[in-house]
Structure 1
């Protein structure tokens, strides 16, 4: 079982080298540089336990000021390794937003090591835009998304640009980006474990 610092370090390395490095998300660099990304490692081994952690993180994100925590990456290294199971869980995640009356306030983006867009083959390079080191749930503020999109010249082109970037990179290029992350590299990141270990700031 990987320790939390290793899990976060792997995720930070992926964020810096792939998401920011390839500009897959033009809005990621700002919150990363400002240290407004919170990394929460869930120790859940079942969907039910992960849902508890997700609800906790949604509440935490909503309770804090965006300047302190703009977005959260909930990482589940021991749960939902099968992408189809993960995809099924997303329905529960969306329902949690509704139950908490946060639909339209927060949203959840999906990231998984085996992510596959509908209508693509498993090894299609375009799937790698959403392939993270571990099953993860990206919790975002709708206001922050709206503000970022408004500041971007042509947000409709982001998806198409990402697809072209991945096509140009190819599988060999993607694999060349992947490096072993040292736990020390995440030592100063905003990291927390499962809710039992969390304290409200």
Structure 2
């Protein structure tokens, strides 16, 4: 059957382009939970992230058998409340406050955002300035919230040499490939 765009993105962009050297080890269930959001507004999104955070935290504490290690919560691209990159960034402030901090997960979980229109520079929003291929390290076919367990992040960083250099290596590699190649690869995840 046809692979959903988030799965293709994970395989063809994140893993194949080695944007995250830790992703291959957790690419399949039950370690990865790839969840389609049903949220139609910010309040529902907060509730969904809180539920996903609870599942990850309970798994970390051994309270849930077979709990995932990481979750990709994928929003419908037509959802107005996450249509723009800054919409998702603003929502993430609520997610952090109302789902992570309020749930008591600040020491256990992290959130990472991906969006079809994501940019590294806050000053580049609104389509101003040149397209930077490096922005494709933050781009996904759909608005996506990645929930990670802090312990896994710390362990991966401990075991991976020069983990702090991953973002700059990614930016350099994507800039070398060029914007047309990066754009085509991401669009291919939607098409195929």
Q: TM (normalized to structure 1)?
A: 0.80
Contact 2:9 2:189 in 1 (8 A): no
- CA shift, 1:119, in A, is 5.1
Contact 2:132 2:175 in 1 (8 A): no
Q: Aligned with 1:64: secondary structure?
A: helix
Q: Which runs of 4+ in 1 moved over 6 A?
A: none
| Aligned partner (choices 177, 181, 184) of residue 173 of structure 1 | 181
Q: How does 1:40-79 map to 2 (within 5 A)?
A: 40-65=35-60, 68-77=67-76, 78-79=78-79
Q: Aligned with 1:158: secondary structure?
A: helix
Corresponding position: 1:116 with 2:122: no
Contact 1:9 1:182 in 2 (8 A): no
Matched residue, 2:160:
152
Task: Provide structure 2 residue ranges, at least 5 long, that are not aligned to the other structure.
Answer: none
Question: Is the alpha carbon distance of 1:25 and 1:76 closer, same or farther for their aligned partners in structure 2, counting shifts above 3 Å?
Answer: same
Please identify, of 125-134 and 75-84, the stretch whose mean Cα deviation from structure 2 is larger.
Answer: 75-84
Q: TM (normalized to structure 2)?
A: 0.84
Question: Is the alpha carbon distance of 1:85 and 1:34 closer, same or farther for their aligned partners in structure 2, counting shifts above 3 Å?
Answer: closer
For residues 50-79 of structure 1, give each alpha carbon's deviation from its aligned partner in whole angstroms, at most 9, with x where no partner exists. Answer: 111111111111122586411000111143
Relative contact order: is structure 1 or structure 2 higher (C-alpha 8 Å, sep ≥ 6)? 1
| Aligned partner (choices 5, 15, 18) of residue 10 of structure 1 | 5
Task: Provide structure 1 residue ranges, at least 5 long, that are not aligned to the other structure.
Answer: 184-201
